[in-house]
Structure 1
Amino acid sequence: MKRALITAITSLALLGCASVQAAPRGCVILLHGLARTDASMLVMEEALEQAGYHVVAASYPSRSGKLSDLASDTLPTARRACAAAAPEADVNVVTHSMGGILTRVWAKAHPEAEWGRVVMLAPPNNGSELVDTFEEVPGFEWFNGPAGTALGTGPDDIPAQLGPVPFSLGVIAGNRSLNAFYSSILPGEDDGKVTVESTKVAGMKAHLTLPVTHTFMMNNPRVIAQTLSFLDSETFVPDLTLGEVLWDALVE
């Protein structure tokens, strides 16, 4: 039943994505966010596979190590899996939240690496003010680990040290929040965890803001459709899709 629902949802997403008309190709690495697992990307995985991509859904213990250690433990293994499955294909990456910073950390340490296209969903590319606010609160570091506590907005935090991205990047930000308290701390538009402005980074090729929340945006058919669009054509098409309309009807 769960598999059937996932297939139905992703089929709706594909209805709104022109990229599936052209034969998509290549391998896509999926990287989840903080305190999540690869299961959080299952709907995205299904959509990518339906579109013809080989998918490597990487999982890493996001609360158990430094960003540099997590990156060096995760990216090489995932890239080797892509190379084995599709030797001549580009290595593309789709990330959620901290997964985007993980990718940037590894890319900076390995400037010789070749990349396909990268889509980041709600990445804290300039950090999050929530970390600045709560990092000294008891229990914050225990819950978020050393990687999560390094995602502040200060000059000594990891995001500020990474520089422009060295790959073709499309960023999708959300501007709806499920947490009014968090949003009162975050300046400007936000998704409940990260501001729209913070998702932007030097060197990105395209940026799109959609009415979605941080936690669940990777399951939204419109986000999935735009992800497929960028992987295929390096562009976003910000029109309302049939998939989004049908999704709204499904969840109401």
Structure 2
Amino acid sequence: MSADTVVLLHGLGRSPLAMRGLARFLTRQEFTVINMGYASRSGSIAELCQRLFHDLLPLLPTEGKLHFVTHSLGGILLRYGLQHWSIPEARLGRAVMLAPPSQGSEVVDVLRHIPFVPNIMGPAFLQLGTDETSVPLQLLKREQKQLPLDVGVIAGRTSYEPWFSPLFGEDNDGKVSVSRSRHPGMSDFRVLEVGHTFIMNDKRVRQHLLHFLRFGHFQ
């Protein structure tokens, strides 16, 4: 029987290099791994997703379950893609979202008003806030608290970016608050002492996500 496939989707301003260590880890666990890249600052979420799935779909094997592990913006692209591209539900396995702005990020609400930041971060960044233009919140309305596959969310509550601390009134990972990382349709949820940027490299995170991919819940 063919090995299951895990698709890795990195976050904003990153590249497949950020997920390379995780890709090696999952390959050692006998998964087929596709470490996808996309130019995260080059378009809106809809535009990024169209290019991403256009490139991804031909790479998917014809047999075995399809799992996903995403970081930050990658989780939003997965949710958007599942609504707009046809992947048979029978092929869908499980997904683990690391530090996703499932309900938007307070950091975006503030930084979008600082000169030059929108040009540096790109159009998708501007869509990750918590106001009425928030794509994550628009996706929630369409999802109606349901997702087509089992999703586990791992959030961090350690910030290495103290300059953002005043933007949050609760635990956060420096970019996303713990409460806003939650998705109402998720199957399981964990909060760990990790930061946003390098959450995928934490040994505890890797063991948790591996357990979820295999069994549908965290350790």
The normalised TM-score by structure 1 is 0.81
CA distance in 1, matches of 2:46, 2:76: 10
Kindly state the Cα deviation for residue 113 of structure 1 after the two structures are TM-superposed. Answer: 4.0
Kindly state the Cα deviation for residue 77 of structure 1 after the two structures are TM-superposed. Answer: 2.6
RMSD across aligned positions (CA): 1.6
Alpha-carbon contact 1:124-1:151 (below 8 Å) kept: yes
Cross-structure match for 2:176: 194
Q: Does 1:104 align with 2:104?
A: no
CA distance in 1, matches of 2:169, 2:109: 13
Kindly state the Cα deviation for residue 73 of structure 1 after the two structures are TM-superposed. Answer: 1.1
Amino acid at match of 2:95: V
Q: Does 1:32 align with 2:7?
A: no
CA distance in 2, matches of 1:101, 1:228: 21
CA distance in 1, matches of 2:53, 2:189: 24
CA distance in 1, matches of 2:169, 2:24: 35
Amino acid at match of 2:4: G
Cross-structure match for 2:69: 94
Kindly state the Cα deviation for residue 112 of structure 1 after the two structures are TM-superposed. Answer: 5.8
Alpha-carbon contact 1:28-1:82 (below 8 Å) kept: no
Cross-structure match for 1:124: 101
1:178-227, CA deviations, whole angstroms, 9 ceiling, x for partnerless residues? 01121221221000000111111121101100100000110111111111
1:162 is paired with a residue of what secondary structure?
Answer: helix
* Ranges in structure 1 where 5+ consecutive residues have no aligned partner: 1-23, 238-252
The normalised TM-score by structure 2 is 0.92
2:122 is paired with a residue of what secondary structure?
Answer: helix
The 3 A distance-change label for structure 1 pair 113 and 202 is: farther
Q: 2:127 aligns with which of 144, 150, 156?
A: 150
Amino acid at match of 2:102: N
Question: How many pairs are equivalent?
Answer: 212
Q: Does 1:224 align with 2:172?
A: no
Kindly state the Cα deviation for residue 156 of structure 1 after the two structures are TM-superposed. Answer: 2.0
Q: 2:186 aligns with which of 197, 204, 212?
A: 204
The 3 A distance-change label for structure 1 pair 112 and 145 is: same
Cross-structure match for 1:167: 149
32-41 vs 137-146, which moves further: 137-146
Amino acid at match of 1:56: I
The 3 A distance-change label for structure 1 pair 68 and 178 is: same
Which gives a bigger RCO, structure 1 or 2 (Cα 8 Å, sep 6+)? 1
Kindly state the Cα deviation for residue 157 of structure 1 after the two structures are TM-superposed. Answer: 1.2
Amino acid at match of 2:30: G
Q: Which has the larger radius of gyration?
A: 1
Alpha-carbon contact 2:53-2:85 (below 8 Å) kept: no
